[in-house]
Structure 1
Amino acid sequence: MSEQNKAVLRQANAAVAAGDNEGFLSFCADDIVWSTVGGETLRGKEAVRAWMVKGYAEPPKFNVRELVAEGNMVVAIGEIESRDGEGRPVPNAYCDVWRFRDGKMVELRAFVVETGGAPEA
């Protein structure tokens, strides 16, 4: 199960990197809960879709350094570049904690911390 969930997350991440939001959403449960710790919580696939239109208008640049899985949980650790209000790149370190149900991503707890340096390749 853990390796299958890691494979699903890899495919979902590839869709995001390619700008394929619908492809990403195909890996999500309809009742997904997407929380950015210290930020907003999105409930349901439609809310995530609406956020992605703006938040991922330009596909994010990210690098997954580690994937750790056990049971129905997968943790991704790496770097991601976001954009500020002026469109300038903002490098961040991140840790995404995903929970899976029946092969679908059902919950995300995203920990994102601005690092101030360029993301590593």
Structure 2
Amino acid sequence: MNDIRTFLREFNEYWVRPDAQAILDNVTDDFRFSMAGGRTVSGKADFKGFLKEMGSGGADMALDIASIIVEGERAAAHGEISMTDEQGRRRVYAFCDIYRLASGKVAELTAYVVEINGNDKY
């Protein structure tokens, strides 16, 4: 289970860097991604386009993972991501990602994200 936790920590770091190729290397060909309240992207090719649309995010991104829970092929990670936006404002987001794993890769990811006050903690 520690290997899965390490894998998911690294996978989350790829989003913060951002490293689209490393993300793509660690998802299955039939990968499915959705953000709660947003669109769903199915398949690695469409997901590659989504990552390109998403761009690099804000400057000075930082990740703080509070916990990772693993149960068989399912896992969840939650914590905070902070970044500086284009106007120089610091933004902090709480996240909870729900994963389905297959063959050592991420087969499905549902992301829940909400902007929070930077002084709040989990």
TM-score band, normalised by shorter chain? 0.7 to 0.9
Deviations 1:68-90 (A, max 9, x none): 11101111010123677868553
The structure whose RCO (Cα within 8 Å, separation 6+) is larger is 1
Residue 3 in 1 paired to residue 7 in 2?
Answer: no
Partner of 2:20: 21
Q: Which stretch shifts more, 80-89 or 90-99?
A: 80-89
| Whole-angstrom CA distance in 2 between matches of 1:87 and 1:30 | 37
Q: What TM-score, normalized by structure 1, do the two folds share?
A: 0.80
Partner of 2:73: 72
Partner of 1:61: 62
| Whole-angstrom CA distance in 1 between matches of 2:120 and 2:52 | 23
Q: Which stretch shifts more, 45-54 or 75-84?
A: 75-84
Residue 113 and residue 17 in structure 1: after superposition, are their counterparts in 2 closer, same or farther (change >3 A)?
A: closer
Alpha-carbon RMSD across the aligned residues, in angstroms, is 2.6
* One-letter code aligned to 2:102: R
Partner of 1:46: 45
* One-letter code aligned to 1:39: G
Deviations 1:53-110 (A, max 9, x none): 2324247432111111110111101012367786855321110011101111000111
Q: What fraction of aligned residue pairs are identical, expressed as a percent? A: 29
Partner of 1:113: 114
Partner of 1:100: 101
Residue 117 and residue 98 in structure 1: after superposition, are their counterparts in 2 closer, same or farther (change >3 A)?
A: same
In structure 1, stretches of 5+ residues that fail to align are none
Q: Which stretch shifts more, 84-93 or 73-82?
A: 84-93
Q: Which stretch shifts more, 22-31 or 9-18?
A: 9-18
